[in-house]
Amino acid sequence: MVHPGIVSALAGQLASVNARLSGLGLGPDSAAISAAVARSLRRTLACLLQRRSPREVGSAGFLLVLDGDGNPRVHFRSQLLPSSAGFVLGAFRAAGAELAPG
């Protein structure tokens, strides 16, 4: 069973990102980043609510996970991709969301 706190946290972050997207004055780059973050949160939330493992679903495409130290890692299928932790974390912050392990 999925822990209700995780679902609640994801739903809250998605609501925050969607509110930011609907705000006025968001530039095209910021809007694109926020939309990508919203898609990521929606997919993760959908996986959890369907009782599917995001890691299994992500193994068919891109997957963002946090390592034991809380650093983001981007995978494409089974391959670890080079990525900037600062950029990934900054993109989520700019969208109004925070990455959290769990």
pTM score above 0.75 = no
Alpha-carbon gap, residue 17 to 15, rounded angstroms: 6
**Whole-number Å distance between alpha carbons of 60 and 53:** 12
b (16+ CB within 10 A) / e for 17-29:
bbebbeeeebeee
Tell how far CA 91 is from the center of its chain: 10
Computed over every residue of the chain, the mean pLDDT equals 76
Q: What is the pLDDT of residues 42-87, one digit of tens each?
A: 777 777 777 777 667 666 677 788 888 888 888 887 788 888 888 8
Q: Which of 75, 77, 94 is nearest to 86 (CA)?
A: 94
Burial category of 40 from C-beta neighbours within 10 Å (exposed 0-12, middle 13-18, buried 19 and up): buried
